[in-house]
Amino acid sequence: MRDYRQPGRAVSATVQPGSPQALHLIAMSELAGKHIVLGLTGGIACYKAAELCRSLVKQGATVQVVMTEAAAQFITPVTLQALSGRPVYTSQWDAREGNNMAHINLSREADAILVAPCSADFVAKLLHGVADELLSLMCLARPIERVPLLVAPAMNREMWTHPATRRNFAQLEADGATVLGVGSGDQACGETGDGRMLEPDEITEDLIAFFQPKPLVGRRVLVSAGPTFEALDPVRGITNLSSGKMGFAIARAAREAGAQVTVVAGPVHLPTPRGVARVDVRSALQMHAACMREAEMADVFVATAAVADWRPAAAADHKIKKDGSGQPPALSFVENPDILADIAQGPRSRAGALFCVGFAAESHDLLAHAQAKRARKGVPLLVGNIGPATFGQDDNQLLLVDEAGSRELPRASKLALARQLVAQIGQRLPKKVTP
């Protein structure tokens, strides 16, 4: 049996547990302990497989590359051997295997088989159980119940939309494989459309998500994230330091947990998590309208947004300038609607159809303020944190407050905390009744 332990990801003695450096190292090891067989089939997208292999290794996985003869026409085994740090297999008759059964040995040792790129020809082989070379033979011989198969399609747009290809991928999914999506854009042939292989970081994120627990399958989750901006005039406004990172991490974690996720985002500069629908808003009124609308279809609402409590009664039509008097302009304010309270006290929440989670960003006395806010908002779960210590950061620490008391989640990356919170939400939800 081979030893797949990573050779020395040494951590400096100066890196302290819980420090930003330690949290970064943990975040870069999402696939630690996983052994991935990366299969390459013929196609120009093989050039992306080099970066994909590198990405998987950076995330802590060990990677065993298996290539078809056609794949070797586009990228050399030497390249993949250098990036994976392991000999590449190309033939079912490989003499390096003592029993001459590479298709058995490699498939038994894998935590997953990922075929990227997966050509139209190869998916047809998989569908019909054709096993005329090592990679297809290995996929057929794998123990289905414990070695999942994931495929990342890559082909010309006409091949991708052809009825035969659509049938093949649909049946492959019905047979238990996971078919990742495709990208859209310029293709090597000069045409433009769907069928490009996903980018390496997208596939890596999908693979990480695949291994996460799935407590929210069949659920719809709504997340509000980021600050709001309340205009004073065309160029100035009232906002806060919320980056939206915690809310976007929760959206990603909920999607990883199997949910259909929508994030309503204030003005933030963050990429949308894979597979998450996004609604961009600016002001508290816009966020209120969007959340009220989306909440009608949600099973869970997580209100992480740092919504402005007040807005100017009227925004000036032109930039407010100094007049030389030394006196500030006279401004009047009105209170913004309470998004969380309005949703938590709505009929769907009262009927138990919508589970609401609030967030409290405080500067002091976190437990007392969080308990008071939970009671005031009427939510079953309130998550507290110290705003100045988390705004804009990649890490956080949380305090969960419910009717039974409180529980601390120690400092960790926001994604790690988001996954813990999602697990807690999943435990609190009533069992979903299926027809």
Active site (catalytic) residues:
189
Joined tokens for residue 371: 């308990």
384 CB neighbour count, 10 Å cutoff? 25
The gap from C-alpha 415 to its chain's centroid, in whole angstroms, comes to: 9
**Dist. CA 165–CA 158, nearest whole Å:** 10
**Dist. CA 263–CA 301, nearest whole Å:** 10
H or E, element range at 152:
strand 149-153
Cα–Cα nearest to 340, from 304, 311, 371, 365? 304
**Dist. CA 101–CA 86, nearest whole Å:** 18
**Dist. CA 309–CA 360, nearest whole Å:** 13
Q: Which amino acid is at 149?
A: L
**Dist. CA 247–CA 263, nearest whole Å:** 8
Is the torsion defined by CA of 149, 150, 152, 155 positive or negative?
A: positive
**Dist. CA 85–CA 94, nearest whole Å:** 18
H or E, element range at 333:
strand 333-335
H or E, element range at 433:
none
Q: What are phi and psi of 195, to 5 degrees?
A: 130, -15
**Dist. CA 378–CA 359, nearest whole Å:** 12
H or E, element range at 372:
helix 366-377
